[in-house]
A and B are shown apart, each in its own frame.
Chain A
Amino acid sequence: MAEAQPHILMCPPVFYAIEYEINPWMNRQRQADHDLAVRQWNGLFAALSDAGAKISLLTPVRGLPDLVFTANAGMIFRRTAVLSRFRFEQRQGEEAHDARWFSDHGFEIVPPPPETFFEGAGDALFCGEDLFAGYRMRSDARGHQEIGRRLGVRVIPLELVDAYYYHLDTCFCPLAPGAAMYFPPAFDEYGRTALRELIPELIPVEAEEAEAFACNAVLVGRTVVTNTGCPRLHAALAERGYQPIETPLSEFVKAGGSAKCLTLRLDGEEAAAWRTADED
């Protein structure tokens, strides 16, 4: 079976700026350089295209600066998109735009479980057959379990204990079924133990590189795209046969996001077992 071309959703940073503060990275006094942000976004776009990805674009909307972070638009499972419900009202305006895009592009829409917050692929990542799901900061544990029931997959809720790593994709990145990289201090002992038990090959990321958003990486095939400033992780990845690529994303780190946050994989992450499994 020929593999389909990797397909990614991005949103150009036309209206991107630090307009509010909803995570410890954000500071309106430390504004993003807009021109530089656009150049960096283009750099990421080029890196992913070069790696072989097809990229679709979500239309930017004035007043929704964080719409660039498409990872939070929803979570994809086969042709189903589980929509997000943002914890902070500053981002709730994004929900309708995300929903429209998914429905216009043939996805079956599943609303998030009632009375729970859910921030899409930012907090829910498949590694093998399991859905690893971050909670407490943005998404709710109960909602994750509901989604697992709905989709018929095992959910491993992981409590996020460090406000700087407020989404799971800022401290955990699946590489392949059974392999992932993570920043251990972002989890408590229960979470670390669960990860160690369930993922045989775990690459720990050091604090300095985690702060450079090393874990917020995008995989296209064996290519791993990250922000600059993660040399030790890149060495570890190269040793394991991956092709790490760095592209500067400093202006997005100011808002608490990097490569992964700026993308949503529409045909399933590389590590998701269902992507290559036969549909039943």
Chain B
Amino acid sequence: MNGKGSSVAASPHVQEVEISGHIIDSLILPKILDAISARGGTFRIDRITIGQRRSDPSYALVEVQAPSDEVLREIISTISDHGATPVGDVDCRLEAADIDGAFPPAFYSSTNQRTEVRLDGRWIPVADQEMDCGVAVDPQTSTARCVPMSEVRKEQLFVVGHGGVRVFPEDRREGKHGFEFMNSAVSTEKPKGVAVRQIAQDLHRAKRDGQKTLVVGGPAIVHTGSVQHFSRLIRGGYVHKLFAGNALATHDIEQALYGTSLGVRLDCGDIAEAGHEHHLRAINHIRRAGGIRKAVEAGELNSGIMFECVRNNVDFLLAGSIRDDGPLPEVITDVLEAQRQMREQIRDVSFCLMIATTLHSIAVGNLLPAWVKVVCVDINPSTVIKLNDRGSAQTVGLVTDVEPFLRALVHEVEALERSAAS
């Protein structure tokens, strides 16, 4: 093993250490990092929490890498004097939840990175990896999984503190996502054709390998006249799940029933007579029919994204918000219930395409583990930046208008299909 550019799995000379206390103001953290470098080691800060108030301690989880075991031991011995403590040599500490719906006070707060906890001297993987959760452990079955706060049940055992927990961050430097050309997470300047081609390849690969692609979409897909492109992707078998809100479905159905989106005719851009009522009439129509699925089955809804989802067995999940009209009967208006169902549905997702929605993109980004590839397409760069800021660092952004993007994507996907067939 040459050790160059080695990761956790590839190099045995690695030790995680924790440093806690007032390590920033006292310069203890930089001192420890300098000590690692000065002795021939390298480091990676896996996690850092800065105390908010003056008396709040800070915390850093640092992976120390060394060219040999001897050097590693020397480094660890040196930095231990400054207060760094090796992690991993203890079992995780467990504490029972004392009430429903809240963690024990010192709960370990999860990341979206692959995580293991040590139980009876053995490392066990944490299932259902999700950021901002607690880690519930069942010692009987030796299993651990992420549990959101709202689902905590009294007596459930949770990991407290950082001891006995190890995190394996995805290495973003290795271009694992196949987007090596985009060094910055948000690309406004780079050639979009290359990006679109790579997204098409991902969709194609997922379909070929039986993996699941999730699309999170906003109503701009309809406003911009992209329904036909998106419908082709669904018919082609490239979309397996759709998460959206009341708006996307409503505007899509309005277009299917009246040819307008928020009263604007999509064929010529004119405002239709009494068009402002169309979206409400569309909702009313579907509510009278008993839902989207029933309207399709009754032959009342015959085109559009929602129609294609029903026809092609694409699971769709519509999550409500406070400004919704109606809403459509399928819209889940209890946000915690919507989160719960979204959690269930993302378990087998391997690729996620987020198109023109900030709210739903962030909501889904919060739920996805870090190893699910995410591509976020938005005319507004801030959506992608927000996703990254909230910890969904695996997100690759493409700043572009939706319609030309989807048109190009359909073109690329169909070209791939033709070349695969020939």
Contact = CB atoms under 8 A, between A and B. Distances in A.
Interface of A: 129, 135-136, 140-142, 144-145, 148-149, 152-159, 188, 190-191, 193-194, 197-198
Interface residues of B: mostly helix, strand, loop or mixed? loop
B25 to A, nearest CB: 6
A141 B21 CA distance: 10
B21 A155 contact: yes
Contact of B26 (A136, A153, A157): A157
B27 A145 contact: no
Contact of B57 (A145, A158, A159, A188): A145
Contacts of A194: 25-27
B83 A141 contact: yes
Interface in B28-59: 28, 30-31, 54-55, 57
B147 to A, nearest CB: 27
A214 to B, nearest CB: 24
A82 to B, nearest CB: 15
B257 to A, nearest CB: 63
Interface in B1-32: 20-22, 25-28, 30-31
A193 B54 contact: no
A140 B82 CA distance: 8
A142 B55 contact: no
Interface of B: 20-22, 25-28, 30-31, 54-55, 57, 81-83, 85
A152 B21 contact: no
Nearest to B21: A145
Contacts, number: 63
B354 to A, nearest CB: 41
Contacts of B81: 135-136, 140-141, 159
Contact of A142 (B30, B54, B85): B85
A158 B55 contact: no
Contacts of A136: 81
A145 B22 CA distance: 7
A172 to B, nearest CB: 14
18 contacts: A129-B54, A129-B55, A135-B83, A136-B81, A145-B20, A145-B22, A145-B57, A148-B21, A148-B55, A148-B57, A153-B55, A154-B55, A155-B22, A157-B28, A159-B81, A159-B82, A191-B27, A194-B25
Contacts of B21: 141, 144-145, 148-149, 155, 157
B76 to A, nearest CB: 13
Contacts of A152: 55
Contacts of B85: 142
Most chain A Cβ neighbours within 10 Å, of B21, B26, B28, B30: B26
A136 B83 CA distance: 10
A190 B27 contact: yes
A193 B27 contact: yes
A197 B30 CA distance: 15
A149 B83 contact: no
A140 B55 CA distance: 20
A198 B98 CA distance: 41
A156 to B, nearest CB: 4
